[in-house]
Amino acid sequence: MFISNGMVYGGKPDVPVRIASVQILDDMMMILTFTTGERRIFDATTLCGPAYEPLQDPAVFRAACLDHGMVTWQDGEIDCAPEYMYDHSFEYSAGEMAISLSEEQIAEIEAAKKMPIVYDEDSPELTPAMEKAFLLAARNRNRYKKEVS
């Protein structure tokens, strides 16, 4: 139970979503670290409307700043709610360690590469934003592997 603005509520108060850091990537993608420590990848192409048109300029997009836990551009003229960015982002982990595969596992992977992709109810086709996120995560994972080697 908690009290807010003179009202008594059951449960726990919602913790405000705040962004602690932002890392700008290619293709209007960014890695956001929230104050909870959670890292998520956000595709800024989902930001639509005339207010966000300036972000199409890579120089403007790359000039993102944090202002009180919110990502802003152009001295605060453009911003995006951290709740929106959280809800429209995907979990991200760049620290995945490389694993060793057996020859049999490698052969299975090579065979799977040659098989067609079949989409159904259990595995629907990816949205463009999800596909970008997966490709970027793989690219960053491969970059991490090279740095570790």
Beta bridge partners of 80: 71
What digits encode the pLDDT tens for the residues 23-68? 999 889 999 999 888 899 999 999 999 999 999 999 999 999 999 9
Specify the CATH number of the domain 1-149: 3.30.2020.10
Let me know: does 27 contact 136? Beta carbons within 8 Å. yes
* Interval 112-132 mean pLDDT: 80
Q: Does residue 76 come out as left (phi exceeding 0), alpha (psi in the -120 to 50 range) or beta? A: left
Claim: this prediction has a pTM higher than 0.95: no
pLDDT confidence band for 137 (50 / 70 / 90): confident
Give dist(CA 29, CA 48) in Å, integer: 14
Contacts of residue 117, defined as CB under 8 A and 6 or more positions apart, other chains included, come to none
Task: Determine the pLDDT at residue 98.
Answer: 47
Which residues fall within 8 angstroms of residue 46, CB to CB, at 6 or more apart?
Answer: 88, 129
User: pLDDT of 74-94, one tens digit each?
Assistant: 999 999 999 999 999 998 876
